[in-house]
Homo-oligomer: A and B are copies of this chain.
Amino acid sequence: MHTKDKILAEAMELFAQFGYKGASVRKIAAKVGIRESAIYNHFTNKEEIFQSVASTIFTTPFSDTKESAMLSERAKGGKKFLSSFIVQYKLVTFDKKKEHLFRIMMIELLQNKRLRESFMSEYHEKNSKLISQAFFIMMQEDLIRSGDPMVMANEFLAPLFYLRLQVTLLRIDEHSTAALSTQFEKHVDFFWESIAL
């Protein structure tokens, strides 16, 4: 099964670089060091390779149930909770493998219906719900001003997504992301000042 894993790893890199169409079966095989026909001993399709790679895209921070169970406790930390979320988000943003998966997502998002649906349910809604629950708790604890927790969650998450996209774009061309790196913290500071009581 060593070969199968290598196929997936090299396919991931090529999909991230050239997209689904641009990453040909021959290119993948060449990077693995085998002929293209040998690929079909491990996967029935090019599509199956892609699905296998794409299925690992949506693994969000705080996704496991243990962390979710502790949410109500953690949310009472107020700004501390948001800061720790940002730390997680930053780690994901600058992780090389996750970065490749994010690139694949971005490239195929407008071309692949399944990916769009996963993005909406696994990424957007999952994060929105989690963060909005945290804000709801913070409101009950009178840590923050009242308002629609869902709106608040989107206001908190959208700048993170936009930052991640910018980081990804800069890194493709090997530009420095130092200036952007500090903006994550600036975002929490600004946001907390916006909602804190």
Interface positions of A (Cβ within 8 A of B): 18-19, 21-22, 103, 106-107, 109-111, 113, 116, 119-120, 124, 145, 147-148, 151-152, 154-155, 157-159, 161-163, 166, 168-169, 172-173, 183, 186-187, 190-191, 193-195
Copies of this chain, whole number: 2
Distance in angstroms from A111 CB to nearest chain B CB is 6
Cβ-defined contact, A168 with B107, below 8 A = no
A124 neighbours in B (Cβ, 8 Å): 166
- List B contacts of A166 (CB < 8 A): 120, 124
A interface, by DSSP: helix, strand, loop or mixed? helix
Q: Given known contacts A18-B111, A154-B159, A193-B194, what 12 new A-B pairs fall within 8 Å (CB)?
A: A19-B110, A21-B22, A106-B106, A109-B169, A110-B168, A113-B173, A116-B169, A148-B186, A151-B186, A158-B161, A194-B194, A194-B195
